[in-house]
Homo-oligomer: A and B are copies of this chain.
Amino acid sequence: MLRPRRYPPRDVFPVDPWALTATRFDADLLERYPGQAETMFAISNGYLGVRGTMDEGSPVEEPGTYLNGFYETRPITYGESAYGFPKVGQSMLTCPDGSVIRLTVDDEPFELSRAEVLGFSRRLDLRRGVLTRDVTWATPRGHRLRLRTTRLVSLAMKHVAAVHWKLVPEDDVDLLISSDLVERAPLPVEDFDPRLADAPGARVLNPTGTECGGLRAVMGYVTGGSRLALGCGMDHRLETACPHDAGAACGAEGATVTIRVAGKAGEPIRLTKFVAYHHAPKEAEDTRAAAGRSLDHAIATGFPALLARQEDEVGDFWQRADVEIDGDPATQQMVRWNLFQLMQASARVHGHGIGARGLTGRSYEGHYFWDTEIYVLPFLIYTAPDIARAVLKFRYDMLPKARARATELGHRGATFPWRTINGDEASAYYAAGTAQYHINADIAYALGKYVEVTGDDDFMVRYGAEILVETARFWLDLGFFSKRRDGRFCINAVTGPDEYNAVVDNNYFTNLMAQANLRQAAAVVAALDAPARAVLAQRTGLAEGEPAEWVEAADRMYLPFDERLGVHPQDDSFLDKEVWDFENTPDEHYPLLLHHHPLNLYRSQVIKQADTLLAMFLMNGRFSGEEKKRNFDYYDPITTHDSSLSVCIQSIIAGEIGYRAKACDYFQFAAAMDLSDIGGNVKHGAHVASIGGTWLALIYGFAGLRDGGGRIAFRPWLPDDWTGLRFPLTVRGRHIRVAVGRETTIYRLEAGEPIEIFHDGEPVRLSPREPEARRRTPATAKAEPCLGHGASNPAVPGTAM
């Protein structure tokens, strides 16, 4: 069911622990599949993203320059509509593309696909945070030229991207350099794939004015529906001893700076291009002026300083977040690329969310999903707590819209949108949208984990408690105490994470997570001091008796269990369905959603991602190893992994129950999801949640981290071909470094107060005086009960204030 790997051939992309390098301009790979490379070489900082297009602008799959939170609305049309269907969609926009610097030599435009390329290399330097390209070629008239470009999206200056362009002609040649900042329409989508963005057809960026002069152009735009203003501009610094002249020209689609150079043999021409983007609600800010100021700042800073700051920022990231794998350099490379993507998606995300593809593609319209909370936040919590806080604060800022949506749907409390940019529900298919109410519990869960691991109780008091009260109210309203089930609290007509079984009753994942949400809300309210509680009551109208109702619903939560099979049914009807006919499903029918009607999927025991197992991972301490094994044995064979969020979790559970080969295999699929293009759609962007899941699989899987109930515990093991796994974690301000070896696991407190952690069930105390502890790496993963492993009361995260 998992697709064969399509990893680009190793002779083109050599193993390198700190870079992804294409050593050839390979027509097959980069011309026939430009989109794949555009994603692999995309650079971003979480605010501004630029796809890995060629510097000349072609070949191109999608010329994406994206700004987080910059979107246009569009009417959602339905063949048949119904009450409560969202009427307005949101689509992340493609901004004017400032990455392009075209070159004409002797009146021949230089294009890689047509040129006689003598040397080529493109390299995403994961340590420096830059994309460089070296090309040597000969013109039709036989002139040779060498071009090196260095591209970066600044981590230090979030509005700024820069290209350093250095050309050395080996002969005297006339050169015409055109540097663009222009709107480029995405290509029409050929394939049927409901996951793709629904691109607004008509022009959406309405020009509001341009400033053009010298080597600079700054332009303003406004969107018609979302009423957002965009200011963007470019400026250049040219250094050459060759005679030249230059000028800028602006038009409706954008601006071009044209430079004519009488190139001299061996005389380098250096052009530095700075691009800046600002967006804001119309009227809120003069974004064009802001773009101008950012350009001033960038020009004043200069490229070398920008580069140095980039290296500092990236260095700091690796210091906080690197995961080192000894003995498997190919996997190391994939893991580093993955971690780099997490940095790129989140570094400057403040004030916005993390899209399903980060800023590497427009798939899923740039929407934020539960992916953030469940798959990406753990990484941020342990490596960049301030960013984790910002992402959760952004969720909090959506709360008024979540309340309004609950009211619209006839419910109390708040229900967060399944997919959104601006806080409004943008899902146009309720069965895999509005019905995925579990996102409320996912947010509560992530919130609890954040507070528990960081100790940021203040966040819980200020923001978290309000989210918990409203989501708990929502669950209480959504479900009911069923007389037919002995007064158990049932929640019907929901869709769990597994979208191949939609609108079901008592989805195990949802009920379990809602139970935790309800308990957590009550516990947090109980733990508040009187003034904080008064503020909360004022904001939410919280009544005295509400928490007791939540606890009652949680205590009486219906959590189905099948005695005969010894497994938790995914939902009330799941076990009664016919098992999918896997035997007669040809390989090319995966992912099934592209080849089978939803009803046929819903009718069958077939799973996109095993949400019962995900529940067992998230609520780890509640399940014995035996339970996990039984459930894994049942669900694994019927799971297609048609969701990229599946294999990472499968790897963790497999490892925990002793299925080591399977754990390694699933991990490899997770780690290679994008670079091997497992899903066949990496051209549309990197799978950020799967990437977050890869980190989960490394840290919760191999290192065996469990962190419920205020305890940080490890039970590490290593795949056979690994000799070491090393990584840092930040826990309540302490910097801890873990080094798992085949024989010994070393824990080291690098900074901060003393802390007690657990290794294989035994406490380990680290302190500034005795910062290091060595323990025997457990010889085998155990399939026995893990109950209590690292968790006293894991169902109520976030209450240990």
Q: Which residues of A contact B (CB under 8 A)?
A: 76-86, 89, 192, 194, 198, 409-410, 427-435, 480, 482, 484-485, 490, 492-493, 502-503, 505, 572-573, 575-578, 593-600, 602-603
Residue of B78, B192, B600 near A79 (CB, 8 A) is B78
Cα-based distance from A588 to B339 in the complex (angstroms): 55
**Chain B minimum-CB-distance residue to A74:** B79
Tell me how far the C-beta of A684 lies from the nearest C-beta in chain B, rounded to whole angstroms. 15
Contact B596 A83 (CB under 8 A): yes
**Chain B minimum-CB-distance residue to A485:** B576
12 contacts between A and B (CB under 8 A): A77-B79, A78-B428, A79-B429, A80-B428, A81-B194, A83-B192, A85-B597, A435-B599, A485-B576, A492-B576, A503-B602, A505-B573
Contact B600 A410 (CB under 8 A): yes
Contact B603 A492 (CB under 8 A): yes
- Highest count of chain B CB atoms <10 Å: which of A78, A490, A505: A78
Contacts of A596 in B (CB 8 A): 83-84, 410
Contacts of A194 in B (CB 8 A): 78, 80-82
Residue of B78, B429, B502, B576 near A572 (CB, 8 A) is B576
Contacts of A80 in B (CB 8 A): 194, 427-429, 432-433
Contact A79 B89 (CB under 8 A): yes
**Chain B minimum-CB-distance residue to A575:** B484
Contact A83 B594 (CB under 8 A): yes
Given the known inter-chain contacts A80-B194, A81-B194, A82-B194, please indicate yes or no for A430 contacting B597, CB distance below 8 A.
yes
Residue of B428, B490, B594 near A576 (CB, 8 A) is B490
Residue of B428, B503, B593 near A599 (CB, 8 A) is B503
Contacts of A76 in B (CB 8 A): 79
Cα-based distance from A22 to B117 in the complex (angstroms): 87
Cα-based distance from A432 to B83 in the complex (angstroms): 14
Contacts of A490 in B (CB 8 A): 576, 578
Residue of B79, B430, B433, B482 near A428 (CB, 8 A) is B79
Cα-based distance from A596 to B431 in the complex (angstroms): 15
Residue of B410, B432, B492, B575 near A597 (CB, 8 A) is B410
Given the known inter-chain contacts A83-B594, A484-B576, A573-B572, please indicate yes or no for A599 contacting B429, CB distance below 8 A.
no
**Chain B minimum-CB-distance residue to A576:** B484
Tell me how far the C-beta of A387 lies from the nearest C-beta in chain B, rounded to whole angstroms. 30
Tell me how far the C-beta of A562 lies from the nearest C-beta in chain B, rounded to whole angstroms. 10
Contact A597 B79 (CB under 8 A): no
Tell me how far the C-beta of A598 lies from the nearest C-beta in chain B, rounded to whole angstroms. 5
**Chain B minimum-CB-distance residue to A479:** B578
Cα-based distance from A785 to B434 in the complex (angstroms): 46
Cα-based distance from A194 to B81 in the complex (angstroms): 5
Contact B428 A593 (CB under 8 A): no
**Chain B minimum-CB-distance residue to A594:** B83
Contact A82 B573 (CB under 8 A): no
Contact A492 B593 (CB under 8 A): no
Stoichiometry (number of copies): 2
Contacts of A484 in B (CB 8 A): 575-576
Contact A492 B577 (CB under 8 A): yes
Residue of B83, B493, B594 near A602 (CB, 8 A) is B493
**Chain B minimum-CB-distance residue to A592:** B83
Residue of B85, B86, B576 near A505 (CB, 8 A) is B576
Which 8 A-B residue pairs are closest in the complex by CB-CB distance?
A79-B428, A84-B597, A493-B603, A80-B429, A76-B79, A480-B578, A80-B428, A492-B603
Known A80-B194, A434-B597, A492-B603; further 5 A-B contacts with Cβ < 8 A: A79-B428, A410-B600, A485-B576, A503-B602, A505-B577
Contacts of A410 in B (CB 8 A): 596-597, 600
Contacts of A77 in B (CB 8 A): 77-79
Contacts of A429 in B (CB 8 A): 78-80, 82
Cα-based distance from A575 to B492 in the complex (angstroms): 12
Contacts of A485 in B (CB 8 A): 576
Cα-based distance from A493 to B493 in the complex (angstroms): 13
Tell me how far the C-beta of A310 lies from the nearest C-beta in chain B, rounded to whole angstroms. 39
Tell me how far the C-beta of A210 lies from the nearest C-beta in chain B, rounded to whole angstroms. 35
Contacts of A593 in B (CB 8 A): 82-83
- Highest count of chain B CB atoms <10 Å: which of A431, A433, A480, A482: A431
Cα-based distance from A17 to B149 in the complex (angstroms): 91
Contacts of A578 in B (CB 8 A): 480, 482, 490, 492
Contacts of A434 in B (CB 8 A): 597, 599
Contacts of A597 in B (CB 8 A): 82-85, 409-410, 430, 434
Tell me how far the C-beta of A421 lies from the nearest C-beta in chain B, rounded to whole angstroms. 15
Cα-based distance from A310 to B427 in the complex (angstroms): 55
Tell me how far the C-beta of A170 lies from the nearest C-beta in chain B, rounded to whole angstroms. 54
Cα-based distance from A490 to B427 in the complex (angstroms): 32
Contacts of A482 in B (CB 8 A): 576, 578
Given the known inter-chain contacts A576-B492, A576-B505, A578-B482, please indicate yes or no for A430 contacting B599, CB distance below 8 A.
yes
Tell me how far the C-beta of A604 lies from the nearest C-beta in chain B, rounded to whole angstroms. 8
Cα-based distance from A430 to B502 in the complex (angstroms): 13
Cα-based distance from A573 to B504 in the complex (angstroms): 9
Cα-based distance from A505 to B577 in the complex (angstroms): 9
Tell me how far the C-beta of A579 lies from the nearest C-beta in chain B, rounded to whole angstroms. 9
**Chain B minimum-CB-distance residue to A571:** B573
**Chain B minimum-CB-distance residue to A565:** B484
**Chain B minimum-CB-distance residue to A433:** B80
Contacts of A600 in B (CB 8 A): 409-410, 493
Cα-based distance from A573 to B492 in the complex (angstroms): 9
Tell me how far the C-beta of A710 lies from the nearest C-beta in chain B, rounded to whole angstroms. 37
Contacts of A602 in B (CB 8 A): 492-493, 503
Cα-based distance from A567 to B388 in the complex (angstroms): 53
Contacts of A435 in B (CB 8 A): 599
**Chain B minimum-CB-distance residue to A78:** B79
Contacts of A192 in B (CB 8 A): 81, 83
Cα-based distance from A79 to B75 in the complex (angstroms): 9
Cα-based distance from A598 to B502 in the complex (angstroms): 13
**Chain B minimum-CB-distance residue to A558:** B576
Tell me how far the C-beta of A74 lies from the nearest C-beta in chain B, rounded to whole angstroms. 10
Cα-based distance from A435 to B503 in the complex (angstroms): 14
Cα-based distance from A490 to B430 in the complex (angstroms): 26
Contacts of A576 in B (CB 8 A): 482, 484-485, 490, 492, 505, 572
Cα-based distance from A787 to B248 in the complex (angstroms): 91
Cα-based distance from A502 to B598 in the complex (angstroms): 13
Cα-based distance from A573 to B81 in the complex (angstroms): 25
**Chain B minimum-CB-distance residue to A86:** B79
Cα-based distance from A482 to B596 in the complex (angstroms): 22
Tell me how far the C-beta of A437 lies from the nearest C-beta in chain B, rounded to whole angstroms. 9
Cα-based distance from A484 to B572 in the complex (angstroms): 13
- Highest count of chain B CB atoms <10 Å: which of A198, A427, A493: A493
Cα-based distance from A493 to B577 in the complex (angstroms): 9
Contacts of A577 in B (CB 8 A): 492, 505
